[in-house]
Amino acid sequence: MNSYLFEAAKAAMAHAHAPYSNFAVGAAILAEDGRIYAGCNVENASFPEGWCAETSALGAMVTAGAKRIREVVVVGDGERLTTPCGGCRQRLAEFAGPETLVHACGPQGLRQTFRLGDLLPAAFEKGHLA
Considering only 5, 31, 82, 123, the residue that binds ligand THU (CB under 6 A) is: 82
Considering only 50, 59, 107, 117, the residue that binds ligand THU (CB under 6 A) is: 50
39 binds ligand THU, rule: CB under 6 A: no
Q: Are 37 and 60 in contact (CB under 8 A)?
A: yes
Min CB(67)–ligand THU separation in Å: 22
Helix axis angle for 86-93 and 53-63, nearest 10°, is 20
d(CA 104, CA 2): 13
Binding site for ligand THU (CB under 6 A): 18, 21, 23, 25, 41, 43, 50, 52-54, 74, 82, 84-85, 88
